[in-house]
Structures are given as structure tokens and as C-alpha cells.
A and B are shown apart, each in its own frame.
Chain A
Amino acid sequence: MAGARLSLELSVRLPLARFALEVDVRLEGASVAVMGRSGSGKTSLLEVLAGLRRGARGRVVVGGRVLLDSSARVDLAPEARRMGYVPQDALLFPHLTAEQNVRYGARLGRASRVDEAVALLELGPMLHRYPATLSGGEKQRVALARALATDPALLLLDEPLAALDVTLKERVLPYLLRVRDEARVPMLYVTHQLGEARVLAKEALLLEDGRVRAAGPASEVLGASARGLLASEAEGEENILEGVLERPSEGATRLRVTEGLSLWVPDAPELPSGTRAAYAVPAEDILLSMGPLSGVSARNVLAGNVVGVEGAGAGEAAATVEVEGVRWVVRLTEASVRELKVAPGVRVHLAVKTAACRRLR
């Protein structure tokens, strides 16, 4: 399940327009989310890793390989770094077909890499089309395959979903999960969406004005400090849950997320039991209750503990609730927080309507 592990040693300094990017961090893990507000240096950091930013000083070691060491005058050219770079707007070569795009750097990888990437991202039907005829989501899939086909040491994903609308986003996200789980390439994933970061990454790096605010396990980093920092951009936050589908009886489908956590979702008879799936539940569609809930129409009632509450601006607040090891974000008003005395450590119940669970495909 887990892909190859990443070991990343970063100690770089790069002057930017408003501040200097100063990152000194070691990261381990299969997938790391790089978060921060727009303009906090996330993209610059990826470009430093890819070798696309001249003028970076310091040391970059990926998987034991030194890419940059300015004290030893080592600064590998981008073509020698083996970084699978996927920019925000895909940047496919417009004069080449999807297939030619995927094959572009394939001489760097094993021969079978192209076929694997095409299969993984289901590009078969669009191989002979030109980028101009592809949808935004299809372009992103081609760009992912193009990077994977080079057999990179690390995938650098720069907000691969940011340019897509909600529907397309949901179509591409499952492919990213497949890449993470099946392609066995570690990834560094830039995003400013907490939901995306939570579902994709096990580790996280939080940047603020070019400096590391926090780094470590995603569950810690993406808690309170992240929300405060990203508040203005956390609109429309969603909980994204992955698991295996089960159909215990006719007309009922449930998503098994962990041993102790299952979620009733809209019936999907077309999907056989055992299918892996991901669902999104908007943070504002979850009801939070202090006492045990009974006699409510929502089929999913989950007991958990509050681990954090933060103001989200405009009289709104977000509570993080841990249920069977899974963290949920629930939107409520600040008035409710006061009246119900929602605070860390408090036992609460969450009610989630089946209809609020939307499958990502």
C-alpha cells in the first residue's frame, strides 16, 4: 500500500521578492503536503527542488542523492535531478499528442514505465488527442503520467487540483490516491486545501512567509496552527474519507474507513463489495451534538473527542473531532461553540446524513 519512502534533507535559502525562502527541514514519508497561504513560498520551494530556480544556496538531498550543495559547488541541472514535476496548469506540450507527452522523458525510465503510467491514469482513450482537446482533469492526468514515466525519485505536485472546478477536482483526486498507493514514488504535494492535504499526505510542512512554521506528521501539523494560517482559504472545507465499500444488504452501501469506523453512503449497487472508494463530506454538513443522538434522521452517528477548536472568521468556527483515529472537521458558528462549550477533550457526537457523502470519482 505505502509507496517508496521519501527521505528529504532541505536546507536552502533563496531571496524572493517580499522575503527570503529559508527552509531547514528533514522529512521522511511517502507523501508530504506542503501548505501555506498563496505567496508563502510553496511553489518556489518546489522549483528549488526541481532545479528551476537559480540562486538558491544551501543543501538539498533527496533519497541520499545530493542535488544541491552550494558549499561544495554542486548544483545539478534540472535534467539530472530526476524530479517528476507536475505544475499547477499541467503545461502539456501543445504540439504533441497525449501519448507523445507521456513519452517525452521516458528514456529516463524503464521501458515499462510508460505503459504502467498510462494504465494507472487510464489514458488509453485519449492517447492520440492533442492537449487543446483535453479537459482540465484529463490534462492533469496526462501531466502526472508524463512525470511518472521518467521514473522520478520524487514527484513534485504543485497544486495539481487548484486549476480545476469542484467536479473535475473530484475526478482527479482518486487518481492522485492511486499514484500515491500504486506508483511507489514518494510525493511532495503543494496545496492550500486542508482537505486535500489530509487525505493525500501523512506528513506535512507548513510555510509562512518563506519559513517553516511546522513540520511533521500531518495530523499534528494540519491542526490548529494550519487552520489559523489558512483560515481565509479554508472555505468549503471537506472531509475526505477513503475506504472499502460493503453492501451488507440490498439497498444499503457502507464505506469501511477503519476497523471501528464505517459510514453509510448513498446506495451504489453498481459497485461490488471490496471496491476502494473515496468520499467527500462538507464540513458544514455535519451536525455536532453534546449528548448521544437518537431519533435523528441521519444514519451515521459517530462518537468522538474534540481535539481542537479554532475561529474561522466571520462568526464561524471549525472543530476538529477525532473518531476512531480519523479526524473530522466540523463547521459551526462561534455562538454554538460558546453555548455548547465545545472545547478540546469534550466528548461529542457527529451526525452525518447519508446524502451528504459524495463519492469522488
Chain B
Amino acid sequence: MSLLINRRRFMAGAAAGTALMASPAILRAQAGPIRIGTLTPLTGSGGLYGPVMANVVKAVADEVNAAGGLLGRQVQIISEDDQTNAEAGVRAARKLIDVDKVNAILGTWASAVTTAVAPLCWENKVFLFTVSGADSITQLPHNGWLARTQPNTTLQGRKFAEFCLEVSGGKRAFFMMPQTPFTQSTFNNFKIAYDKVGGATELLIYDDKKPSLRTEVDQAMRYNADCIFVGGYLTDTTVLLRDLFRAGFKGKIVGPGYSINQKLVESVGQPEATEGAYGMLPSPQEGSNGWKKVADLTKQASPDPFSCQIYDHINLAIMAMAQARDASGQAIRDNVRAVSQGGGEKVDNAVDGLKAIAAGRKVDYDGASGPCDFTDLGDITDVKFRYEQVKAGKMALVRIA
């Protein structure tokens, strides 16, 4: 029958496949647009954030293109999926670097993916912007080829503890978090702040894929804490809050805003279980132009932090290349701090920034995620936090500080 695949037919198929793989490179080989890649999780456990992030970058590029492009060329965004998996992420990054010849990769989310992709970037002179929080990332030997907008855990751990102390009024906190690259260091910094005021705190690492966390909650109840810090992601925090409610926990609940938010209230489904819980996130001044812009692009009343951060990544990458008058990864590496900090005309988007740079003025970008000033290692120096509380099933702003 004709369905039979013999060796010759297979070879023909394989040859056709190879040709298909090779052809886009030929089509793309002409000096055309300036290419920038996004490598966000479109599927897998980060799949909630990645698609929005990719769209934000695309929208910024469209605006820059509509306003005349960058260095007289169009900006082209190529979005790949890291599948929230380091192995798949490395393959996708290889494709972005070798086939698409991007100058920068934006938005790697999971710390493992970032750590796996980072060496490819610095070996190939591609700049990497990331939203991963693990302290170890900026300590890689990246030689300036990496910057991140997510505050590291030294800063976050202290801020978390200070807020827990404040809202609970007591000095016993229980710290629950799944195992991640930043669990131990966040807790260490959390503990320092509690130790300073003579308080007590204990860490419990749980498995975030368990369908019930009853035994963990029992342990938390035994500790008799006046405040529980829940440091997981949305899915496991949903389980945790339900079990805490069933166990009758009466103290305060504080957690990062990427898990304690409107989505959590909806997914828990029991208003009493989430009522009064606090969420806190690194935040810009609410109402900054960048923040409003991202809210607009993502159609979210209060945009998630990763969309805000990647909005800053693309703006910074574009302005750094304009500053250098050169479209390359090297240009971004050498000029990102020239456009992000050090005084000058305050700008909050690349279109304005490009105009100012063309007019020969020094710019200082303040973005959607914060002031975006980087240390030599690539960490951000300062960040404001946004504190919210669930009140009557809605997120209510407590303050931004």
C-alpha cells in the first residue's frame, strides 16, 4: 500500500524537513530589522504570566516602529517558549541566538531556566534581562551580560519581615515556603529582622505539588504564631490558605503579591479563608506612566509585576542601543546603565527616550517596575513595595512605600 514508508521515501522527507529548517535563515539573512527575543514561559507552571509578558514586549516594539523605529530600522520581536523547563529553555535560547540572531533575550522567569540560559548569552554576546529572583543568578560569572529587575532576596526577606512585625503586632512568625532557589536566603534575611527585635520565627519547607497541606498546617498551628508568611505560588497558596482556614488559624497571613491577589481570592472560593490576608510586591509608584501603560496593554486593573518588568526590559534595551548608535548585544551591555540611571531627563518609555537621545540629551529611565537603577552585578538598587489586603473579597491598597 502507499502508506508504507520505505527508506527512500523517508530520506526524501528528511531532506525536505532539513530544507524547511534551513530556509528561514536564508530569508532572514538580509540586513533588516533589529531582532530582540523574548523567552517567557508560555506553557508549564509559568504559563499564566508568559503570554502577557510576550504581548507587552510586542506592543512596545510596535509603538517604537510606528514612531520611526530604532536607528532607522524596525524592531522585530521573536517570542519563544521556555516551557518553564531548563532543557526546553536552552533549546529555545539556542534557536533565538543562532537562528534569529537576537541581540537580547528578555524575560526569563524561572530561576533554573535563567541559570541555564545565561552562559549561552554571555558566550554569544547576547544581553539577558531576567525577572528571576534567586540571589545566585547575579553571582554567576556573567561579566555584565545580565541584569534583572526583580529585587534579590536580601532586600525582599527584610521587607517581608518588617511588614509581618508591623501588621501582627506580635513577635512569633511561621514561615512556609516550597523549596526554591531563594527559599533559604529569603528566610535567612527574614530571620535577621525578627532576631533584631527579639522575636522568634521558624521555617517550614513544603512540597508545592501536594493536594493537601494539612500536616504542614498542623505544624504551623503548634508553633502558635501570630503571623504566618506564605511564600508559595498561586496554586499551592490556594491549598495552604484553605487548610489554614479549616484549621481555624486566627493570626495574620502575609505573602508575596504574585500569589496573594485577586486570582487567589477567586481560586480559593471561600471568602472567609482569604479575608484579611496581605499581599506585598515590589512596586513602582502606582500611577506612574509606565505602570499605567502596562495596565493598558495588559488590560489588567493592576498589572502583574512580571509584565511591568519586561516592559522595562524592552524599553531599556531599545534605548541602550540608540545611545550606542549600534544595534548589538555589546551596545546594550555597555550602555544599559547610561540610560537607566545617573540623572538626566526622566523618561518612562522608549519613544520619548529615543527622541531625547537623538537630541543629544542624557536620559534616566524610570519604568513600570521601579526606578530601574542597576548595581555593577546587575541587581536593582532600590525598589518600592506595594502592600494590599483582601477586604470583602477585593484587593484593597494599604500603601506603597
Mutual binders A and B = no
